[in-house]
Structure formats: C-alpha cells, structure tokens
Amino acid sequence: LTDKPTSLGLPPVEIYRNDTTSTIVKSNLTHWQILKKYILINPSIWFVSIAAAFIYFIRFVITDWGITFMVDNGIKCDVAGRLLVFTPLFGIFGGISAGWISGKFFKNRYIPISLIYLFCSIFCIFGLYHSTNQHMSYWIIVIFFALIGIFIDGPQTIACGVLVTRITVQESIGTAIGIVGIFEYIGVFISGIGAAWIIEKFNWAWLFTICAILSLLAMFLIALIYKKELLQIKS
C-alpha cells in the first residue's frame, strides 16, 4: 500500500463503511506531524510507557527471581518451580477478569480497574515475602503467587495494551504500542540486572519493597490520564 486513503482524498474506511468508533478521531496530518503531535509530545503516551516499565519490572522480578527467593528461604528447587507456575497460570485470568470488570462495572473504562488491581498487588507482594519468611503452608505461597499473577497481568493487559488506543489517534496506535513495548522490555532488562544488584547489596526485603513502590508509581502515572480517558469515552 502506497499511502492511507485520506491522503489521496478518500474518506477513512470507517466513514466509508459507516463503522466509526466513539473513541478514535481520524486525522489528515502527515506521518511526521502525527508522530510529533500524538506520540512525541503526548504526555499520556509517556505516562503509560513508564508505568508499563514498572509493571513489567514487578512481573519479571516475580517470575525470574521467584525460584531463587524460595530456595533462599529453604524451599527445594523442584517444589519452588511448581509453586511459581501459578503466577503465569492465573495471570491469564487477570487479563480476562480486568477486561470483563471494566466492561461490566466501569462502562468500558480501563483506568479504574487498573488502579484497583495495582493497589491489590501491593498487599500481595508483601504477602508473598512474608509467606515464605514465616515458613507457612505451601498453599499460602500458591495463593499469593496466583494473586500476583491476577493483579499484575490485569493492568499489564488493560493499561499497557488497550488503553493506548484511547490516548492517541488511530493512525498512530501501532507506533504508540511499539513505544510502550520498548519500555516494557526496558523494565524486563532492569529487572534482571537491577534485581541482582539489589539482592547482592541489600536483601530480599528491599527488592519486594521496591516492587511495591513501583506499583504505587504506576498507579500515579496511570491516574494522570484518568480525565483524558473519561473525556475520550464521552466524546
């Protein structure tokens, strides 16, 4: 395809097919103008991107360092591996439930459920830390791993994914998601070397506390675009 229909004087395909949406506004700007206006100088994109980095840091600290954490607390490696599987397993339900709840109770608004899930994740992070520290039942550890999977994968899917379609125009959605994806991998990268440094220089308590702080910061950044999502839905 050489270009978009609007640049050749044709109507956008949504208008042509009478299939417009209420959350996206089409633009006749050039590619560079779209990139600059709706991506580079769009603070909402950067808020979501940084929040995504924080969320992915937490997620991969749990999934990549969870076994090491349990082994350091006296749990056998093979048992630790079986316990850890509940985080990605229940993460599936986290994404699905976040989408369903946002549609059922929040009129398809994604920010409220993202804030609720991130807030709940803070208690689960500390709960996981103390569950192994107190040598509790393995079922308690399973519960916290499962809850972290739900409350982290929910905002990861909703806030770091579909929410992006509401804070930019349609032509720039792919680019916006790409930028958010870059920050997600930055979070993964930092979770590797950063967590190792924190564990070596300090201890596990510091690492879990930082994860909780990052969850709070992600909530703050996502909350900054609360009004923008609300206005976009009403428009």
Q: Which of 126, 148, 158, 151 is nearest to 222 (CA)?
A: 158
pLDDT at 1: 54
In the predicted model, what is the mean pLDDT of residues 198-212?
95
Q: What is the number of alpha carbons within 13 Å of residue 17 lying toward its C-beta?
A: 6
Instruction: Please name the residue that has the structure tokens 């596990």.
Output: 204
For residue 198, pLDDT beyond 90: yes
Q: What is the 3-state secondary structure (H, E, C) of 16-47?
A: HCCCCCCCCCCCCCCHHHHHHHHHHCCHHHHH
**Average pLDDT estimate for 68-92:** 93
Tally of CB atoms within 10 A around 149:
27
Q: What is the pLDDT of residue 24?
A: 47
pLDDT of residue 135: 67
pTM of the model: 0.86
Residue 86 pLDDT greater than 80, yes or no = yes
Residues 6+ apart with CB under 8 A from 189: none
What's the confidence (pLDDT) of residue 212?
A: 97
